[in-house]
């Protein structure tokens, strides 16, 4: 029976066979001619050695087969890991052509893997960032060390995304230099960083607003109060009365500007109440577009949830967006306002907790916003208009944040702009507010007013006296408490206290209220301020106050509030 040695089915196997045959011929040539004269024991030993060599070769062949199988399994496992990795991998030639790419890299760029191979890697990088890529690759070769950079790439559909590239220069099997690149999508992190930066910019603006708003509103209070009194001394038909009315209107507009600044500050917390979104939208659309060539086209769902928010601040949001939409259309046009209920969940690509929201979109037909400006539009003082302060969209962003909502903008040049607001909704039934009368309501009682501004004290004193009240003044909380105790002991206590929340260098309204309640748990007090760092104005009842009024205010508003507080 003849046994044969199995060899690996490869070109190297044929070479091995040829070498084995040559060696066998040499051995045969060396066999002595008188082999038959050799002792049987010697012949048996020779055959034994040959048999051992044969078995050894077979075992080596089996081992080689097992090793090859393991290598093939390992290679398959490597390619599985390579393809299924959560990050993109690419191998580039020295010229920057893609030699290999895994499935993750292809998915990131929105193309097939075959569509990547032999393509220029830099063609998938945003044009503005291609210089960064060039310097990056140059640094790899000059230093010989792995390099890391961040830049923007472009998907097949034109969408941008941020990547972190980690690259190493190595040599392939032929000794040619190649790049091994790992791509990680960092878009979410970049967006979070941008949101944080916007918040920090707005916070800085808030500090500026807080520094000027208190004093500015005190000045406005004095101006508006004196205008109101001057009008009372004149006949409405008098020419001076009309001029004073114009001045009063201008003062109210200055108040609105201050409120816009305060939106960015910690003191600009929304004073929330339940109201109808549909009514708010229609009212502010009509007011914002009054006197313009633009019109609104509504698509508002009938079953809208209500909003628990600050209707004045949200009205400011709508006004700013509608004015922007109108100004983007030179000859006017149609602005579409859509509003519907929506439920957000974790699967939505929105930076919002799961819950119920109102989705409000404002779409214009204007000139649009260039792509390079989209990430700057919420920055304070950034504007592409020839006129304007660049605060409108910053205010929108801040107000939406303080309401726990979100604002998204989509735009392209010559195709218009769409702004979408997401506001937390309430499923409670809104209470329809009663129409308030504009008449002045007189009253009786003893009122203590506390403020650090002497001129403002004189104006509020005159207002209250005109309404029929007896008034005493205090410059800070310490004096107010002393007067309050003296009034109690004299059996002629104060019926109410009006106090400023912020008194530089003295006791302000918050601490004063705590001490008053310790003296008299039934004390009635109104907190008044043009600015505050605390949430007292938005949540005044939890701090013991019976009412709140923001400076500057008119006589009518003060008269109504005094009646409400004294009758409560």
CATH topology of domain 446-567: Rossmann fold (3.40.50)
Output DSSP code: residue 129. Answer: G
Q: Which residues touch 305 (CB under 8 Å, ≥6 apart)?
A: 277, 341, 356, 358, 425, 426, 427
In 71-220, the DSSP E strands lie at: 88-93, 98-101, 147-154, 160-171, 177-185
Q: What is the dihedral of CA 58, 59, 65, 67, to 10 degrees?
A: -160
The residue written with tokens 């790419």 in the block is: 101
pTM of the model: 0.48
How many angstroms separate the CA atoms of 222 and 243, rounded? 17
How many angstroms separate the CA atoms of 304 and 488, rounded? 52
* Closest residue by Cα to residue 91 from 3, 26, 33, 167: 167
How many angstroms separate the CA atoms of 508 and 481, rounded? 11
Q: SS3 string of 342-362?
A: EEECCCCCCCCCCEEEEEEEE
How many angstroms separate the CA atoms of 382 and 258, rounded? 19
Under 8 Å between Cβ of 317 and 268: no
Per residue in 210-233, pLDDT (tens digit) is 667 777 888 888 888 888 888 888
Homologous superfamily of 85-185: PAS domain (3.30.450.20)
pLDDT at 362: 92
CA 493 to chain CA centroid, nearest Å: 52
The residue written with tokens 């809208």 in the block is: 304
pLDDT at 221: 87
Question: Between 3.40.1010.10, 3.40.1190.20, 3.10.20.30, 3.30.565.10, what CATH number should domain 277-426 receive?
Answer: 3.30.565.10
User: Phi and psi at residue 124, in whole multiples of 5°?
Assistant: -95, 0
Under 8 Å between Cβ of 394 and 383: no
CA 272 to chain CA centroid, nearest Å: 22
The distance in angstroms from the start CA to the end CA of the chain is 119
Residues linked to residue 299 through DSSP beta bridges, in sequence order: 338
pLDDT along the chain (568 residues), means of 10: 43 60 66 64 73 76 75 61 74 86 86 86 87 81 80 87 86 78 86 73 65 76 86 86 84 70 59 82 81 87 87 84 87 90 82 89 88 76 56 80 89 87 76 53 93 90 93 93 93 92 85 93 90 71 91 87 91
How many angstroms separate the CA atoms of 307 and 293, rounded? 30
Per residue in 397-429, pLDDT (tens digit) is 888 888 899 999 988 888 889 999 999 988 665
How many angstroms separate the CA atoms of 416 and 366, rounded? 4
Task: Provide the token pair at 316.
Answer: 């400011």
How many angstroms separate the CA atoms of 395 and 484, rounded? 41
Under 8 Å between Cβ of 144 and 174: no
pLDDT at 431: 47
Task: Provide the token pair at 258.
Answer: 């201050």
CA 540 to chain CA centroid, nearest Å: 29
How many angstroms separate the CA atoms of 291 and 379, rounded? 29
Task: Provide the token pair at 364.
Answer: 């214009």
pLDDT at 206: 63
Under 8 Å between Cβ of 379 and 373: no
How many angstroms separate the CA atoms of 554 and 10, rounded? 99
Residues linked to residue 418 through DSSP beta bridges, in sequence order: 363, 410
Domain coordinates in residue numbering, the chain: 11-83, 85-185, 192-266, 277-426, 446-567
Under 8 Å between Cβ of 216 and 395: no
* Closest residue by Cα to residue 109 from 97, 123, 95: 123
DSSP 154-191: E-TTS-EEEEEEEEEEEE-TTS-EEEEEEEEE-HHHHH
Q: What is the H or E stretch that residue 63 is in?
A: helix 40-84
Helices marked H in 263-350: 277-288, 311-327
pLDDT at 30: 60
């Amino acid at each position: 029976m003849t046994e044969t040695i199995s060899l690996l089915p490869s070109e190297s196997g044929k070479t091995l066979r040829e070498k084995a045959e040559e060696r066998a011929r040499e051995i045969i040539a060396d066999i002595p001619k008188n082999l038959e004269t050799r002792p049987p024991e010697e012949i048996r030993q020779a055959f034994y050695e040959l048999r051992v060599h044969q078995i050894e070769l077979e075992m080596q062949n089996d081992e080689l087969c097992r090793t090859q199988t393991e290598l093939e399994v390992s290679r398959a496992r490597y390619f599985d890991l390579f393809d299924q990795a959560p990050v993109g991998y690419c191998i580039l030639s020295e010229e920057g052509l893609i030699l290999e790419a895994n499935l993750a890299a292809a998915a990131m760029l929105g193309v097939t893997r075959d569509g990547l191979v032999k393509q220029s890697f830099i063609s998938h990088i945003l044009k503005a960032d291609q210089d960064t890529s060039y310097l990056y690759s140059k640094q790899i070769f000059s230093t010989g060390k792995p390099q890391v950079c961040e830049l923007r790439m472009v998907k097949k559909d034109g969408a941008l995304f941020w990547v972190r590239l980690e690259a190493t220069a190595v040599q392939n099997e032929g000794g040619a230099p190649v790049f091994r690149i790992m791509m990680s999508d960092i878009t979410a992190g970049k967006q979070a960083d941008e949101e944080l930066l916007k918040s920090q910019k707005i916070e800085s603006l808030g500090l500026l607003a807080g520094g000027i708003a208190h004093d500015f509103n005190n000045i406005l209070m004095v101006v508006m109060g004196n205008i109101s009194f001057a009008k009372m001394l004149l006949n409405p038909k008098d020419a001076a009365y009309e001029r004073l009315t114009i001045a009063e209107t201008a003062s109210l507009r200055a108040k609105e500007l201050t409120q816009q600044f305060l939106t960015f500050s910690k003191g600009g917390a929304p004073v929330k109440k339940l109201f109808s979104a549909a009514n708010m939208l229609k009212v502010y659309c009509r007011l914002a577009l009054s006197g313009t060539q633009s019109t609104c086209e509504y698509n508002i769902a009938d079953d809208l949830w209500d909003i628990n928010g600050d209707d004045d601040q949200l009205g400011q949001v709508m006004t700013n967006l509608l004015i922007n939409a109108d100004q983007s259309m030179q000859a006017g046009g149609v602005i579409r306002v859509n509003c519907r209920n929506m439920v957000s969940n974790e699967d939505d690509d929105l930076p919002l907790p799961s819950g119920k929201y109102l989705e409000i979109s404002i779409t214009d037909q204007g000139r649009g916003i260039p792509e390079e400006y989209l990430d700057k539009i919420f920055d304070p003082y950034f504007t592409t208009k020839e006129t304007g302060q660049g605060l409108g969209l910053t205010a929108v962003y801040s107000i939406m944040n303080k309401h726990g909502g979100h604002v998204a903008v989509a735009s392209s040049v010559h195709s218009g702009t769409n702004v979408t607001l997401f506001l937390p909704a309430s499923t409670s039934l809104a209470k329809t507010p009663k129409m308030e009368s504009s008449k002045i309501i007189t009253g009786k009682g003893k009122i203590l007013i506390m403020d650090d501004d002497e001129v403002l004290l004189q104006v509020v004193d005159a207002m209250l006296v005109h309404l029929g009240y007896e008034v005493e003044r205090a410059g800070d909380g310490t004096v107010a408490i002393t007067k309050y105790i003296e009034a109690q002991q004299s059996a002629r206590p104060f019926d109410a206290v009006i106090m400023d929340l912020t008194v530089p260098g003295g006791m302000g309204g918050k601490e004063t209220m705590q001490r008053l309640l310790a003296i008299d748990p039934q004390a009635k007090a109104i907190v008044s301020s043009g600015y505050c760092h605390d949430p007292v104005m938005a949540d005044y009842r939890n701090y013991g106050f019976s009412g709140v009024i923001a400076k500057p205010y008119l006589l009518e508003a003060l008269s109504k509030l005094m009646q409400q507080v004294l009758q409560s």
